[in-house]
């Protein structure tokens, strides 16, 4: 169904992005990496992807003592992961647990400069899958699996000016070049964007790494330098005259207690835990003015779980509709458990200022479902990010 949507630009718009070192984003990214690695392990070992869902995980904060010049981790973080996976096929054992533990350690090594294997305890609670869902994967091999859930997902395009800015600001702060210039800036970055009519405000939290901070004066000087570079980026590169705030809880005169310091560059080393599904949506943003689907994408099986497939596909279709029509649009996809994933129960597209674009939109939707196997192949290869 293709319908016309009235153009509405709210007077107040709020958008958030949690950076790669935020505990929620860490959780999302790790389970997604496990999902990709596990899918490819199944293909290597048995020639097909078997039943699994690795979308339940919790990063429990550790305990640390921050100190100017470098503190210490007193108690390590704990990554608790559960849910289901196929571990045995006939007489063949699949090394699921070994893969999970290696993936967790490798992810921290590749993405967090100051986290090593001694900083994280892995509590692996993955069990064998339920009989009803495992049955979906048995029997004659088929091109498209039955959906393993009844779920509704939504995507939209294009991004608003605020959404685009929030996304780019976080990526700028966590870019390799920025880290070279400001090694004291940790990976735990959160950007909260607010637009009230034409006024923009960005409230940014950056976990500073204490080993690079000599004293309180040095902290506030370095924070000012970081602030100035961010402001220059927002004003000149993004073309936005905005109010910018950084680490607003800081209080001069309290020493370490008045500064946002961490030992490892993430608040998960002491004060903040994380959980899968509490972070960014499938397009990397938390847009409070936009509709949201009923599923998080991270860690889910990419051949049968529509919470992964339709989540990312809805955004892909929306982007392609915008690219071909130039129109703002929203795409809803609804699945039914047991029905093949290439046969959605409903596809609904709402287009702002819809005119004569229906044939183009229908072609975009049809093309994406005709090439759904190629899209799933890209998911298996890890070509799409989910956080």
Cα distance between residue 284 and residue 298, in whole Å: 11
**What pLDDT shows up at residue 165?**
98
Peptide bond into 59 cis (omega under 30): no
3-class state of residue 336 by DSSP: coil
Cα distance between residue 296 and residue 308, in whole Å: 7
Walk along the chain (387 residues) and give the pLDDT tens digit of each residue: 888 788 878 999 999 999 999 999 999 999 999 999 999 999 999 999 999 999 999 999 999 999 999 999 999 999 999 989 999 988 889 999 999 999 999 999 999 999 999 999 999 999 876 544 455 455 556 678 888 889 999 999 999 999 999 999 999 999 999 999 999 999 999 999 999 999 999 999 999 999 999 999 999 999 999 999 999 999 999 999 999 999 999 999 999 999 999 999 999 999 899 999 999 999 999 999 999 988 889 999 999 899 999 999 999 999 999 999 999 999 999 999 999 999 999 999 999 988 898 999 999 999 999 999 999 999 999 999 988
Closest CA to 208 of 263, 248, 254: 263
DSSP string, 300-322: --TTT-HHHHHHHHHHHHHHHHH
β-pairing verdict for 72-75 and 329-334: unpaired
**What pLDDT shows up at residue 136?**
47
**What pLDDT shows up at residue 133?**
46
Q: Are 114 and 261 in contact (CB under 8 A)?
A: no
**What pLDDT shows up at residue 56?**
93
Q: Compute CA distances 26 → 63, 88, 185, whole Å.
A: 17, 29, 17
The architecture of the domain spanning 12-17+160-275 is 2-Layer Sandwich (3.30)
Cα distance between residue 35 and residue 51, in whole Å: 11
Q: Nearest 10 degrees: CA dihedral of 158, 162, 163, 164? A: 70
**Which DSSP helix (H) or strand (E) runs through 349?**
strand 346-352
Q: Are 327 and 351 in contact (CB under 8 A)?
A: yes
Own/partner pairs for 157-160, CB < 8 Å, 24+ apart?
157/315, 157/318, 157/319, 157/321, 157/322, 157/328, 157/329, 158/319, 158/322, 158/328, 159/283, 159/285, 160/13, 160/15, 160/287
Q: Are 23 and 272 in contact (CB under 8 A)?
A: yes
Could you identify the residue written with the tokens 């674009």? 357
Cα distance between residue 6 and residue 330, in whole Å: 12
3-class state of residue 140 by DSSP: coil
Cα distance between residue 33 and residue 77, in whole Å: 19
Neighbours of 57 (CB within 10 A): 26
Cα distance between residue 335 and residue 344, in whole Å: 5
β-pairing verdict for 329-334 and 286-287: unpaired
Closest CA to 204 of 160, 174, 179, 183: 174
Tokens of 50: 């078997």
Tokens of 110: 């590749």
Neighbours of 287 (CB within 10 A): 22
**Which DSSP helix (H) or strand (E) runs through 285?**
none
């Amino acid at each position: 169904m293709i319908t016309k949507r009235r153009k509405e630009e709210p007077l107040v718009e709020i958008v958030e992005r949690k950076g790669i070192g935020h505990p929620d984003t860490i959780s999302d990214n790790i389970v997604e990496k496990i999902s990709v690695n596990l899918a490819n392990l199944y293909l290597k070992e048995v020639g097909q992807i078997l039943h699994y869902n690795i979308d339940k995980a919790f990063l429990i904060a550790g305990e640390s003592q921050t100190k100017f010049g470098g503190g210490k981790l007193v108690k390590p973080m704990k990554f608790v992961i559960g849910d289901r996976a196929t571990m045995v096929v006939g007489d063949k054992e699949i090394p699921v647990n070994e893969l999970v533990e290696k993936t967790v350690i490798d992810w921290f090594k590749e993405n967090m400069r100051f986290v090593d294997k001694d900083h994280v305890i892995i509590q692996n609670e993955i069990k064998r899958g339920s009989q009803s869902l495992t049955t979906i994967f048995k029997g004659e091999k088929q091109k498209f699996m039955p959906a393993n859930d009844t779920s509704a997902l939504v995507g939209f395009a294009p991004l608003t000016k605020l959404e685009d800015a929030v996304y780019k600001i976080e990526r700028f702060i966590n870019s390799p070049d920025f880290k070279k210039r400001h090694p004291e800036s940790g990976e735990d970055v959160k950007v909260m964007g607010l637009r009230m009519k034409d006024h923009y405000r960005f409230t940014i939290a950056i976990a500073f790494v204490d080993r690079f901070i000599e004293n309180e004066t040095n902290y506030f000087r370095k924070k000012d330098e970081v602030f100035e570079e961010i402001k220059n980026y927002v004003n000149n590169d993004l073309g936005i005259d905005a109010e910018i705030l950084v680490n607003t809880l800081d209080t001069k005169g309290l020493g370490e207690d008045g500064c946002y310091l961490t030992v490892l560059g993430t608040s998960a080393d002491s004060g903040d835990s994380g959980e899968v599904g509490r972070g960014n949506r499938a397009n990397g943003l938390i847009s409070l003015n936009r509709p949201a689907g009923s599923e998080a994408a991270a860690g889910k099986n990419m051949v049968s779980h529509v919470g992964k497939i339709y989540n990312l596909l809805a955004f892909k279709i929306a982007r392609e509709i915008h690219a071909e029509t130039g129109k703002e649009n929203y795409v809803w996809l609804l699945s039914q458990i047991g029905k093949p994933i290439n046969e959605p129960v409903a596809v609904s597209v709402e287009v702002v200022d819809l005119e004569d674009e229906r044939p183009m939109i229908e072609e975009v939707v049809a093309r994406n479902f005709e090439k759904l196997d190629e899209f799933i192949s890209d998911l298996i290869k890890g070509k799409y990010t989910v956080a």
